[in-house]
Amino acid sequence: MFQLEEDIWFWLLFVLLGMFLLFLWTQLWKKRTKRKFSDSELLKRLSPDQSLFKSVLKFITLGLAFVCLIVALVNPKIGTSLETVKREGVDIVFAIDVSKSMLAEDIAPNRLEKAKQLTTQIINNLVSDRVGIIAYAGKAVPQLPITTDYAAAKMFLQNINTEMLSSQGTAIDEAIQLSRSYYNDEEQTNRVLVIISDGEDHNDLSLDVAEAAAEEGIKIFTIGVGTEKGGPIPFKRNGIVMSYKKDQDGATVITKMNKKILAEVAKEANGTYVDGKNTGEVTETIRDILNKMDKKEFEAKEFAEFEDQFQWFLGLGLFFLILDVLFLERKTAWLKRLNLFNENL
């Protein structure tokens, strides 16, 4: 396991690209300028020790030194030991609706992106809880098992999109059923399922499955994204709306958030419905709910004692800088014998 402490320094690699382009331009400029004053044969006689290979070698050496120094600034760290630590928290599974209706833009930027924003902000406010992610439409698929790695959770979250599942609909019951397999029966932690959806196109099994989940100690909180007024479902290409989804009669489909079913599902599983319009209010509401829950102790594997590795790259960078100083742009005896680039012809 490794970490990058200051990865912002990687932007300096663009400076290296600029150095490379400047080097190419300089070499071409030298070549054109020399040709203005004499032919190539005369130039070889006037400067027999001038070496193109040495110039290239010096630039490569300087480039390697620059890369090593950049990596040293980034300071990669390696985890040297894996430890089992005791933590107290709640197991939270996020079920994200990825049906096509989530593309509606009645809430900015659209329902799905709003759902991602809400989930990200909730995760950012967690301390020691474990999280898992499920994506669902006409069926549910696991995305991330229960983990304490919030960075991984947010990475998986960003990859969720409406193209993940070909079966359409909003099968909330499928998401609830899948979430039941996420929790560890042996640890008996508090179990929370957060469903973020517009609630549209649900089936009639959701309430029964929610009740069964409640019997297993799972509390379900639903967050509604969208408006009850609704909006059309756009089809975009390169960010430009090409058309809107239409029904069999050719009329534009208007998708509306079904607040009623989301509230009923939450009620059946001893949870609460939350309107997802205001991200700050949603985050605060969920945080208050979690803080009032009993925190159960569980074990988690974590890398500890990360050690700095910048010194190796700093040493290599200085080594290449010293080599660059020692290398001359003139041919040496061994280089003349090699005759690289046919320079002695």
* CATH number of the domain that residue 158 is part of: 3.40.50.410
Same domain, 127 and 175: yes
pLDDT confidence band for 224 (50 / 70 / 90) = very high
How many structural domains compose the chain? 2
Q: Which of 132, 212, 145 is nearest to 172 (CA)?
A: 212
Same domain, 189 and 289: yes
Same domain, 245 and 225: yes
Helix (H, G, I), strand (E, B) or coil at 182: coil
Q: Which of 84, 198, 81, 65 is nearest to 148 (CA)?
A: 84
Same domain, 286 and 153: yes
For position 27, what pLDDT does the model report?
A: 80
| pTM: predicted TM-score of the whole model, two decimal places | 0.64
Residue 234: Cβ within 10 Å count: 15
Domain that holds residue 115: 84-301
pLDDT tops 60 at residue 285: yes
Contact by Cβ (8 Å): 335, 53: yes
pLDDT confidence band for 208 (50 / 70 / 90) = confident
Same domain, 113 and 168: yes
Same domain, 157 and 272: yes
pLDDT confidence band for 83 (50 / 70 / 90) = low
Same domain, 30 and 135: no
CB burial of 18-38 (b: ≥16 within 10 Å; e: otherwise) equals: eeeeebeeeeeeeeeebeeee
Residue 313: Cβ within 10 Å count: 19
Same domain, 128 and 205: yes
pLDDT tops 60 at residue 165: yes
pLDDT confidence band for 2 (50 / 70 / 90) = low
Please enumerate in sequence order all residues whose Cβ is within 8 A of that of 336, keeping only pairs 6 or more positions apart, or say none. Answer: 344
pLDDT tops 90 at residue 96: yes
Beta strands in 65-124 (DSSP E): 76-89, 91-97
The mean-pLDDT minimum among 82-86, 163-167, 311-315 falls in 82-86
Same domain, 130 and 272: yes
Helix (H, G, I), strand (E, B) or coil at 300: strand
β-bridge mates for residue 255, sequence order: 231
Higher pLDDT, 86 or 219: 219
Query: What are the pLDDT digits (tens) for 36-77?
Result: 766 666 556 555 555 666 778 888 888 899 999 999 988 888
Same domain, 118 and 163: yes
Radius of gyration of the chain (CA): 31
Same domain, 208 and 67: no
Query: Token pair 């600034």 is at which residue?
Result: 73
Q: What are phi and psi of 198, to 5 degrees?
A: -95, -5
Higher pLDDT, 293 or 2: 293
Q: Average of pLDDT values for 15-21? A: 88
Query: Token pair 């960010």 is at which residue?
Result: 239
* Torsion angle (degrees, nearest 10) of CA 164, 168, 172, 178: -40
What's the whole-number average pLDDT of the chain?
A: 82
Query: Token pair 């809880």 is at which residue?
Result: 129
Same domain, 40 and 150: no
